[in-house]
Amino acid sequence: MSDDGDDFMQDSDQEQYDFEYEDDDDEETADVGIENKYYNAKQMKSENPREAIDEFLGLPAMEEEKGDWGFKGLKQATKLEFKLAMYDEAIEHYTELLTYVKSAVTRNYSEKSINNMLDFIEKGAEDEAAYRCMERFYSKTLESFQSTNNERLYLKTNIKLARLWLEKKQYTQLIKKVRDLHVSCQREDGTDDPSKGTYALEIYALEIQMYADTKNNKRLKALYQRALKVRSAVPHPKVMGIIRECGGKMHMSEENWKEAQTDFFESFRNYDEAGSLQRIQVLKYLVLTTMLMKSDINTFESQETKPYKNDPRISVMADLVEAYQQNDIHRYESILQKNKDLLQDPFIAENIDEVTRSLRTTGVLKLIAPYTRFKLSFIAKKLNISVGEVQDIIGFLILDQKLDAKIDQEKGIVEVNDRADADRTNALENWTSAVDSLWRGVLNEGEGFKVDEAPSLGGTGMQSMMPTPGRPRGGFDLGKSNKGMKRGPGGAKYPLSSKS
């Protein structure tokens, strides 16, 4: 029968089977008695855990030599003691348990059991006392296996210890530990050992998280690129989810929205494959980058993200990006006001300000478009934001040369420099210049309209176009002889034809 998921079929190459043809009724009866005691104790775990502990601890004494039942009894007792916060007793019996792994049980079985035990302890630690106990568990495990050649368990336990220090932000100890672990994953010549690529990626993930927490982007970037180049590993998807998530945050700090979007999507996909709840948080980051990119692409159109669109944990972000893409600032602000818990994530709180500022800036520009003079309080009321925020946005627009205006801080008034008159003046000057060029071309080149000096539309040139005594319009001099001219309709004179 299964021992809480720890018992499994032992490898045949690890066992030597001796066939006994003699009946040994006493030995069989003893085994049945131990087995019955063990399963009776398991049935007592939920209702009477302390009595169950006593029953489990009685199993080792029933064996003449250390064996499977004593190992199982100590394992169950240790788990219950940790769960009941009996930390000193848990350490004592775990230390006794470790004496069984060298000879009483097989290597594969002991390794599997110890790993499961440490995972159980890690998941159950909820306070500082539990963390201290967990640290002692790791230390005892490393002491026990240091003299053995079980490198896998040594690496796994050290990685768990490093993860604990990361969670407790004990970076000085963590840095030393990851250095030792990197050496353990290398050959004697200092090159990476391909057979330990999976462990190497887990170590990179821990180190990357540390540098992400401490905002050391330079070191983070180098490790991130190195981790992506590891090809000799089949990592757990959760490990790749961590690496990609930290990479996305790194790209966000550099305002490299496109690369951040790619990393967050890959992180989400890996977390989703691993069944990690962190996938929800990373999906929120993915939506955030969509807004920062000012993209019209719907994050929830892909096959991987579509099932989460209506998830209550992510629907707020989905509504937020929809309001942003529609430039609906009132709805956007309303969603943020009603869901302030969204800003409890420091990363979202840090980056959502850029999104909000961008949307407010667009809203201000649309609102002030018809005005050449307005009050800051008027804009603040319309957008439901403070006067100080409006002033900051106006100042930004002026510095960015998107708005030609002046702010009167004392009166709280903004005056926009109206360029309409200047634009009309420039247009008139251009039109005048064009007409002047046309006039010169027509009067200088047109037959019968040539004048001694081409008139100008500006200044005295206009006067040359006016009639003068003795000179009619059209450039005919009335002071000269009218011979050869005749009067036409209305009294106008024109040259006689040769046939008239």
- pLDDT at site 7: 42
Question: Last residue of a domain, which of 145, 160, 187?
Answer: 145
- pLDDT at site 21: 41
What are the φ and ψ backbone dihedral angles of 414, each rounded to 5 degrees? Answer: -115, 130
**Is residue 153 situated within a structural domain?**
no
- How far apart CA 57 and CA 467 sit, in angstroms, is 129
CATH of the domain at 56: 1.25.40
Which distant-in-sequence residues (6+ apart) come within 8 Å of 261 by Cβ?
248, 286, 289, 290, 293
- Chain-centre distance for alpha carbon 213: 14
Would you state the torsion angle of the CA atoms of residues 60, 66, 70, 75, taken in this order, to the nearest 10 degrees?
120
- How far apart CA 401 and CA 417 sit, in angstroms, is 12
- pLDDT at site 14: 41
- pLDDT at site 3: 55
| 104 contacts 71 by C-beta, under 8 angstroms | yes
- Domain containing 56 equals 1-145
Residue 479 token pair:
């002071």
**Is residue 103 situated within a structural domain?**
yes
Measured CA to CA in angstroms, residue 294 lies from 3, 109, 288, 343 at distances of 54, 55, 10, 20
Residue 163 token pair:
């993860």
- pLDDT at site 11: 42
- How far apart CA 293 and CA 248 sit, in angstroms, is 14
What are the φ and ψ backbone dihedral angles of 425, each rounded to 5 degrees? Answer: -65, -45
- How far apart CA 227 and CA 229 sit, in angstroms, is 5
- How far apart CA 345 and CA 249 sit, in angstroms, is 13
- Number of domains, the chain: 2
How many CB atoms within 10 Å of residue 78? 27
CATH of the domain at 404: 1.10.10.10
Q: Closest by alpha carbon to 406, among 422, 419, 395?
A: 395
Angle at 434 between CA 430 and CA 437, to 5 degrees: 140
| 266 contacts 257 by C-beta, under 8 angstroms | no
Question: Last residue of a domain, which of 145, 168, 188?
Answer: 145
**Is residue 182 situated within a structural domain?**
no
- pLDDT at site 449: 52
- pLDDT at site 30: 53
Mean pLDDT by 10 residues, the chain (500 residues): 44 40 48 86 90 92 88 93 93 91 81 88 84 89 75 86 90 91 85 85 93 91 90 84 95 93 95 93 93 84 86 88 87 88 88 88 86 87 86 86 85 78 60 74 60 47 44 43 46 43
Question: Letter for the amino acid at 376?
Answer: L
**Is residue 100 situated within a structural domain?**
yes
**Is residue 117 situated within a structural domain?**
yes
- How far apart CA 381 and CA 412 sit, in angstroms, is 13
| 406 contacts 399 by C-beta, under 8 angstroms | no
| β 405-408/413-416 pair status | antiparallel
**Is residue 454 situated within a structural domain?**
no
Q: Closest by alpha carbon to 248, among 331, 348, 166?
A: 348
Question: Last residue of a domain, which of 145, 174, 190?
Answer: 145
Length of the chain: 500
**Is residue 76 situated within a structural domain?**
yes
**Is residue 248 situated within a structural domain?**
no
